[in-house]
Each structure stands twice: as structure tokens, then as C-alpha cells.
Structure 1
Amino acid sequence: MKKIAFSGTLDPITNGHMWVIQEARAMASEVVIFISENPGKKPQFPAEKRKAIIEQSLALQGWDDVSVMLIKGDYTARAAKRLGIDYLIRGIRNTSDFDYENLIQQTNVDVLHGAKTIFIMPPRDLGSVSSSFVRALQGPVGWHWSVKQFLPKPAYTAWLIDWLQQDWASLWQLENADIQARAALWFERLTGETAYGSAARHYHNLDHLVHGLSEITAWGRNINACADDVATLKKAFWFHDVVYDVPHGDLSNEEASARLWLESSLPKTAGEAEDVASLIRATDHLQENAITHKLKQVMLSVDLAILGQTAHVYNDYAVAIRAEYAIVEESMYKIRRKQILEYFLQQATAGTLLPDAYFSSLYGQSAVENLGREIADLTGAV
């Protein structure tokens, strides 16, 4: 077979879609992906953005025999026939899929005189994966860890950026054109390659940012916190780890991050500026004891909430921390990591690791179990 096409809204492209494309590559010498525009749908990403995400995902796999096209104002099957493509390929997950896709196939051939359809069955682990399934997971704390397993990396990163952009916009009065421009500039800086979006960051990255902001949102809703307190915490969390490469002997990362917030062109009153800076400094172990703030315990709890997540999430976190400190020799890393974890475990056992009651009740016991397990692993490995 010379050419085969795969079509869909692909909003976002999933690992299930990638599997279908891989199967198509095994059948044909050239594969074309059609991105269709369905007026009845409200996509998360515009068509051009979806095209870019798909192309990045293909490039990551090294699939240079696959191209991507936007289809506007035409039926996919008819467009395929016009381009010399005789077959479309579709994944069938269940009998409902088959009934629907078979009706489309009959319409394509009998009514539109377009390309025929080849149906294939995905493996069991991808049988339930679809764009709508993945989108339905967004929302609760940890949603990003849930969807990560179902998306190619470019699609996952694009989704995080889109979610973060909405959270960021909620913090500023964007109807003012000047503020809108400044906020956009700082969003690009905070999520870009020199900050949370850096490929060199394995833990203090976009995932960490989404997790913390999600925790703050959930905290606010569950205790009915005032909007100003939620906004203050979020602004502090956005900046608290933005600087992560201060030269040795200079300011701490947290202090440099606090100063970056204070120096930023983002709109802030004098009181708000110091409020946010204080919360950023509260995450610095060199300054923590000297900081007094009504939201300090919440900020510290949000920053350490990762320690009380489910075992598989914690294990991924431990792997990411090791990668973050890859420069440290293995035996030395294990010794220092164990010392830090033993300090955390002492606090967790005493109930002070997560000082805010809301977070302690959610994650306190899990943190004890996670920390004890990693310490045992390190003890056996030293």
C-alpha cells in the first residue's frame, strides 16, 4: 500500500492515536494525518496548534514518513481520494465504536465516493484511551499525573501550558492592555526554558507548578478561603522556585526568586509585594524561622505536599529528585538524601512536617510511609 491516512480532531493527540499511526506506518510507505475541523466541537487547542503538537510528537519518534494536513471545508474521505489516498485507518475500541465507524465508512464510500476505511483493534492497555477520556480527567489535585501516561510528551507539555495560562490569567486584571502585555511577558518567562519549562529541571518544573497551584485551589475551596488569600499564595508559588541556578555563595534560590518577584513589572501594591515575598522566603530553610505570615503554614504544606502522595507518584518524585542532583556522586547523594529524609520523617512522625491542618489530615500518614520506605531503600543501598 502506498499511502494511508488517519483523521480526527486529535484534541489532544493521545498514545492511542500514536499507536494507530504506528500501525499505519507498518502498512504503507507514507502516512498522512488529517486534522479535521468539526464546527460542533469546541477544541481546547486551535487547529494550527494541534498540527504543531502532532508534528513535535512525530519528530520525537523519528517518524519522518508521516505528514500532517489541515482539512477545511471538505469531507476527510473525499479529500483523501482527491490526494490519491485510497484508504483511511481507524482504531475500534468496542462495538459502539464499530457501529458508528461502520456508518461513517458506508457514507464515505457510497455517498461521498471517497476513501475506504481499514479498522484495527488497539491493545488492551490503550482500549479506553481517547481525547475525551483524557480531557475528563482534568481538574482534581494530581490530574496531570493521571493524564501524563496517556499522552506523548509534546501534547502533555502543551496541555500543562494551557492549564497554567488559565490559572495565571485569573490572577490579573487582564482587561487593561498594559497589564495584559506585562502578564503575558512574565508568563512566557516563568514557563520558558530559563525557568520551570527548562528541560534540565526534573522536579522543580511545570509538573511541580501545576501540582502546587492545584493544591492551593483545592485548599481554598475546602476551607472557604477568601479570594485574596488564594491569589497571594498562588503568586508566591508561581515565583518560589523560578530561580534555580544561583551561583554558589550568592543568594539562595528562594531569596533570588523573592527579589525577582519584587523587581518584576507585574502590578502589585506595596503590601501585596511584601506579602508574596515573605511567603517565597518562607520556603527557604535559611530564612523560614524568621518569617511570620498568616499563610506561612499553608505555603510550606503546599510545597511539601508531594511527600504525601500515592506510592507510585512519590516514587516518580524520588527518581526526579535524583535526576535533579545528577551532578552529585551516587554514594554521597544517598548519604545526604537519607539525612534529609530522616529529618522530614522526624517532623512527619511528630505531625509538624505539613503544619497546616488541612494538608496534615490529607497527607500526614502517607508522608510517614513514603519517607520510611525511601529511607529503607537507601539504607539497603548504601
Structure 2
Amino acid sequence: MEKIGFSGTFDPITNGHMWVINEARSLADEVVVFLSENPAKKPRFSAEERKSIIALSCAQQGWDNVQVVIVKGDYTARAAKKQGVHCLIRGIRTTADFDYENLIQQTNVDVLQGAKTIFVMPPRDLGSVSSSFVKALEGPIGWNWIMKKFVPAPAYHAWVLSWLRREWETLWDYDTIDATAIAHADDWFVRLTGATMYGGPQRHYHNLDHLVHGLCEIRVWAANTRPEPADVAIVKQAFWFHDAEYGPAASGSDMTAEEASARLWLDCHLGQEREDAAALIRATDHFQEAHVEHRLKDVLLSVDLAILGQDDEVYGNYTRAIRQEYIHLPDVKYRQERCAALAHMCRKAEAGQLFGNAYFAEQYNERAIENMQREMAQLAAA
């Protein structure tokens, strides 16, 4: 077969979609992905953005025989036939899918005189994966770690950036500030999430995942404990910036990363009052934690440490990311230093001192001890 088409809204494209595209590649010389604008579905991304995400996802797999075409104001089957594509491919996951797709197939051929359809059945692990399923995951703590399993990396990156963007706009109240202030805040969002900060390829743990997880923790903490809204905003501001500068300051001075991040925050000119959040960022400096006080210090430190009390899968992602962060260390030295750090935190947890905030202690302390003890045993046995 010369060409085969695959149609959908792809908001977002999932690993199930990618499987169907790959099946199509085995049946034809060229695959044309017909992307429906379908504004009635209120997609997260524009058609052009979705087209780019699909193209990047296919390119990442080395699939050079896939092109993406946006369908505007036409039936996909009819648009396909106009472009010389006489056969479409669809994935069937359930009997309900078959009934629906069979009706569409009959309409495409008998009513529209469009392309015919062939059906394929995805493997069991992809049988429940759809765009609707993926979108429904968003929100609770850990949602990003779960979503990552079901979508290709470019789709995941775009979705996380979109989620962070909405969090950022809410923090700075985009509905009320003027165009100049919005443009300034936009510039800082791009900077913070870009390649030199949280979005950088060298960021294996203190990255966009870290931002998403921490902001979710703050949201849930606020919903359960009802602090003053101003305090929630200060914690969020500090969290966005507290690891913006990671490692030694770019200047090569002896300035700590926390101090560099605090100064970056003070220089950003976002919001009206910045000293409070700067002091909170400085209070997260673990080398200074006994000497720097702030009324919200225990909250921010607990948000940062909450990853230790997650379920097995999330904690496993965390430990792998930490190893990559210290990939420059030989295995023996890494195991020694990591075990020492874990033993220190485990002792604090056993003494009830790891999570200074009572809410986080109740949620995570017991599980954190289990996770750290298990990791130390694994490192010792390696």
C-alpha cells in the first residue's frame, strides 16, 4: 500500500496513538496523520501546536515516513481521499469502540464516498489508553508521574508546560494586570521553564517534574489546612524560584544556590512585595537551616521533602533521577554518599523531625521511613 491515513484530535497524542501509527507504517510506505481541528472538543492545544507535538513524537522514534495534515472544514474520510489516501486505520479497544467505528466506517464510504477503514487491536497494556483517559489523570498529587507512562515525551513536555503556565498565570492574576505586566511575567515563565533552568537537559530531578509535584503539594496543603491566601502565595513564589539556580552560582563565587535563587527572585520585579519570599528561599539552605528562620520555612522544606513519602513508583522515579543528577560520581562513592544522606534523613524521620510541618508529617513520615530504609538496603546489596 502506498499511503494509509490515521485521523483524530490527538489532544494529547498518546502511546496508544503511537502504536497505531507504527502499525500503519508496517502496512504502507507513507502514513498521513489527519488532525482534526474540532473546536467543539475544546482542545488544550491549537491544531498547529498538536501538529508540532505529533511530528516531534514521530521524529523522536526515527519515523521519517509520517506526515501530519490539519483537516479544516471537511470530513476526514473525504479529505483523505482528495489527497490520494484511500484507506484509514483505526484502533479498536472495546466492543463499544467497534460499534461506533463501524457506524463511522459505513458513513465514510456509503454517504461521503470517502476512504475505507481497517481496524487493528492494540496490546492489552494500551487497551485503556485514550486522550480522555490521560486528561482525566491531571490534578492530584503525582498526576504527572502517572501521565508520563502513557504519552510520548514531546506530548508530556507540552502538557506539563501548559499546566505550569496556568499555575503561573493564577499566581500573578493575569486577569487583572496590564499588558506590560503580563509580558514581563511571560518572559520570566519562559526563563524559569527553559533550558537554562528547570527545563534544562542537565536537570534530572530539580526540573519541571519537581515544579509540578511541589506545586500540587502546596495546593493540597492549602486546601486541607486553610492558611492565609497571602502565605500560600509566598510559598508558591518561593517554590518557583528556590531551585532556579542550582549548584554553584554562575559567577563561580562561593554564593550558595539558595542565595543565588533568592537574588534572582529579588531582581525579577514580579509582584509588589518580594522580601518575604526571598527570606523563605534563603531559609531552605540546608547548610544554614539551623540559623535562618521564617514562619513558613517548615512548610516549604516539607513540600521539598514530600517526594520521600510517595508510593513505590513515584519514589522509584525520584531515586533514578537523583542517580542521574550525580552521574559524575562512581557507583561506590555514590552509594556511600547516598546512604549517608538517607541515614541522616531517616534518623530525623524516626525522631519526628524530618517534616517540620504537622500536615506533611502526618501524610508522609511513616512512608518516607519505609522508602528510605528500602533504598538503603538496595544500595548496600548492590
**Which category of TM-score, normalised to the shorter sequence, fits these structures?**
over 0.9
Q: 2:341 — aligned with what? A: 340
Q: Residues 265-304 of structure 1, C-alpha deviation per residue, up to 9 Å, x if partnerless?
A: 32322xxx12111211122112222222221111110000
> In 2, distance between residues paired with 1:255 and 1:70?
48
Stretches of 4+ aligned residues off by more than 4 angstroms: none
Q: Residue 89 of structure 1 contacts residue 117 of structure 1 at CA under 8 Å; is this kept in 2?
A: yes
Residue identity opposite 2:358 in structure 1: A
Is 1:278–1:293's contact at 8 Å kept on the other side of the alignment?
A: yes
Which residue does the alignment assign to 1:14?
A: 14
Alignment of 1:1-382 (within 5 A): 1-174=1-174, 175-246=177-248, 250-269=254-273, 273-381=274-382
Q: Take 1:244 and 1:26, find their aligned partners in 2: how far apart are those partners?
A: 45
Q: Distance in 1 between matches of 2:18 and 2:6?
A: 10
Q: CA deviation at 1:228?
A: 1.1
| Residue type of the alignment partner of 2:347 | Q
1:345 aligned partner, one-letter code: C
CA contact (8 A) 1:172 1:179 kept: no
SS of match in other structure, 1:299: helix
Deviates more, 1:125-134 or 1:324-333: 324-333
Number of residues of Structure 1 aligned to a counterpart in Structure 2: 378
CA distance in 2, matches of 1:111, 1:311: 52
Give secondary structure in 1 for the equivalent of 2:199: coil
Could you tell me how far apart the structure 1 residues matched to 2:229 and 2:46 are?
31
Cα contact 1:281–1:291 (8 A) shared by 2:
yes
**CA distance in structure 2 between the partners assigned to 1:282 and 1:130 by the alignment:** 43
Partners of 1:317 and 1:203 lie apart in 2 by: 7
Assess if the C-alpha contact under 8 Å between 1:204 and 1:241 holds in 2: yes
Q: Is the 8 A contact 1:179 1:267 kept in 2?
A: no
State the superposition RMSD in angstroms: 1.0
Unaligned runs of 5+ in 1: none
Percent of pairs with identical residues: 60
Give the match's secondary structure for 1:40. helix
Paired with 1:364 and 1:96, the residues of 2 have a C-alpha distance of: 45
TM-score (norm 2): 0.97
Distance in structure 1 (CA, Å) of the matches to 2:330 and 2:96 = 55
TM-score by length of 1: 0.97
State the shift of 1:100 in Å.
Answer: 0.6
Structure 2: runs of 5 or more not aligned: none
Which amino acid is the alignment partner of residue 270 of structure 2?
Answer: L
- The C-alpha deviation readout for 1:20-68, integer Å capped at 9, x for no partner, is 0000000000000010022321001111100111111011000000000
Question: In the aligned structure 2, how far is the partner of 1:288 from the partner of 1:159?
Answer: 35
2:142–2:314 contact (8 Å) kept in structure 1: no
Which one-letter code corresponds to 1:253 in the other structure?
A: A
